[in-house]
Structure 1
């Protein structure tokens, strides 16, 4: 982006913090109405090819909202468009990305549960307009705020991220045991803390790229 610094300043002026993430490729918005869900799988690439891993998350989301006709396919003028965008009647509600190692993978989902999706889309639309400064670059979407929506709007009923999180956990519990005690214990172990500290330092170095 030729005027990235100006685009970032515009986001800061709108009250947003900016972080360069380690998966996916384009800008997304995270606020109290957006839920992030990650599935970590100890599995080889052969067991879960890219499409199969994405489909696992798709099946999960469809089970959370069986009353909604959720489809997959790129919504080209959404922000961060991709082949596995999740949409309802042509309007995107969620996007996904993956991160892989030789023996494990994580599928990451953001879903716009409620809140002002029009304002989110307009924010990213303006970010690209400011950052591109009149240049055309096919790598970045020409965001149309009309092609995105929220789950609450699609349901025509109130819902929020707390209720949605509970629903995701309930669906997962139908396919196995939900253990909410082991992970907090593991995260206190010295080996985990060492890995966490290393990953945090890598994240800090990644953020510096935004300002150079």
Structure 2
């Protein structure tokens, strides 16, 4: 039986907050950090990391988004609305990261973990953190096809998506990441990505599939659970969920920014600027 990374583990904690900046390098930090940890885990497979990261007024694009026929026009629209576009390493499609959105990366090494198991571990962590999500407000995982960045492990309450999960692997190292819409105007976020695709595709047929976004298909956790939640409170809930799972929590003392893998990741991200 494969041991879960969210129970009986020593979990090293990291946090990145990216405020609005004129330096694109600042927006690459959370992605380069996750990439460097993946490489670190090849040498130290018994370690586990949890990385909280926040970004201000950013649209995180997947590689598939860069293949839209009118990408420059779509990017111009994002910039006109004061959002910074960033292209991440992993696949998937565009998501919004701004005030009220929390991103979490859980990083560990598991030789035989299936894709489904990894997604289920993240879902379990979120479910533990929100004991209020029961009965008709139970958290469910299924694709919300008219949301932005739809996937099989979209997390929803009463059919409204509040989170999406993705994973990236390097050898036996795994990074499973989730974005959580906690508060703020989720409909506005949905409309932003809807308009990005409208501008960058212009109704043309494409080789790749892009979602037709209905902004009403998503909501934030505060609304869905009828709670007043802050990003800080959700971080504390996540840490409590790990602690309740008999995990030992400690601040990471590793300076990943000095690692060669970190700089290589920054260089690759810099080549993908849009």
TM-score (norm 2): 0.71
Aligned to 1:198: 264
Please show how residues 149-160 of structure 1 align to structure 2 within 5 Å. 149-160=219-230
Q: Which runs of 5+ in 2 are unaligned?
A: 1-67
Question: Of the candidates 139, 146, 166, which is equivalent to residue 216 of structure 2?
Answer: 146
Aligned to 2:184: 115
Distance in 2 between the 1:156 and 1:2 partners?
41
Question: Of the candidates 165, 171, 177, which is equivalent to residue 241 of structure 2?
Answer: 171
**What is the CA RMSD across the aligned residues, in angstroms?**
1.4
Q: Is 2:136 the counterpart of 1:65?
A: no
Aligned to 1:25: 92
Aligned to 1:51: 116
Deviation at 1:186, TM superposition (A): 1.3
Aligned to 1:162: 232
Q: Is 2:201 the counterpart of 1:135?
A: no
Deviation at 1:61, TM superposition (A): 0.5
Q: How many residues align?
A: 201
Q: Is 2:159 the counterpart of 1:90?
A: yes
Distance in 1 between the 2:116 and 2:209 partners?
22
Contact kept, 8 Å, 2:143 with 2:152, in 1: the verdict is yes
Distance in 2 between the 1:179 and 1:42 partners?
18
Secondary structure of 1:15's partner? coil
Contact kept, 8 Å, 2:256 with 2:262, in 1: the verdict is no
- Superimposed CA distance per residue, residues 25-48 of structure 1 (whole angstroms, 9 cap, x where no aligned partner): 21000001100011101221x1x1
Deviation at 1:103, TM superposition (A): 1.9
Residue 67 to residue 204, structure 1, CA distance change in 2 (3 Å): same
Q: Is 2:105 the counterpart of 1:38?
A: yes
Q: Which runs of 5+ in 1 are unaligned?
A: none
Tell me which moved more, 127-136 or 31-40: 127-136
Distance in 2 between the 1:143 and 1:199 partners?
31
Aligned to 2:72: 5
